[in-house]
Amino acid sequence: MTRPATLHTAHTHELTPPLLDGIRAFLDTAFDGDFADEDWDHTMGGVHVLVRGDGGDLLAHGAVVPRRVVHADRSYRIGYVEGVAVRADRRREGLGGRVTAALEGVIDGAYAFGALSASEAGAGLYASRGWEVWRGGIAALGPRGLLPLPDEEGSTYVRGGPEPRAGALIFDWRDGDIL
């Protein structure tokens, strides 16, 4: 039987340091230790969606943060999805879908479109919700100019945005993993 879970949204500035520490620990565990300081930094500065169990324990998390992306000679302010995870013993209960739905609401209400880089494990969730793989190139505009990111091609998904889904998406620069 599925235990009750409550969903809460808050901007990073509304989260207390102990809660942020708990989210970071949760993400470290959920990503099996493959969640670097740069990944954590990428998750900050936007809206967080938290799903908590009846005892207050964190069951799922996701965030949407502002980014700039250039496509076809136009700059867009987009919502970029970061740090989506569900506690291992509560997966396949729809919690990831609840988090994603709340993130989509933020994106639809505040940004030109949404984007994310999906893991193999997460790709099915996003595809089932109507997110589409970007068929064009992926790059970042960095300190030394344009940096193509061929490893991100095929795993970068968008919600809304420019049509046709071709040509390069050029993202703003970030330290660590670019996307």
**Beta bridge partner(s), residue 139:** 148, 170
pLDDT tens digits for range 27-79 = 999 999 899 999 999 999 999 999 999 889 999 999 999 999 999 999 999 99
Q: Mean of the per-residue pLDDT values for the chain?
A: 94
Strands 58-71 and 74-86: antiparallel
Q: Which carries the bigger pLDDT value, residue 47 or residue 120?
A: 47
- Backbone φ and ψ of 94, nearest 5°: 90, 5
Question: Cα 27 vs. chain centroid, distance in angstroms?
Answer: 13
Domains of the chain by residue range:
5-172
- Residues found in the chain: 179
Residue 144 is inside which H or E element, if any? none
pLDDT tens digits for range 139-167 = 999 888 999 999 999 999 999 998 888 89
Q: Which carries the bigger pLDDT value, residue 85 or residue 54?
A: 85
CATH topology of domain 5-172: Aminopeptidase (3.40.630)
What angle do helix axes 95-110 and 120-128 make, rounded to 10 degrees?
60
- Identify the CA nearest to 117 among candidates 73, 74, 174, 75: 174
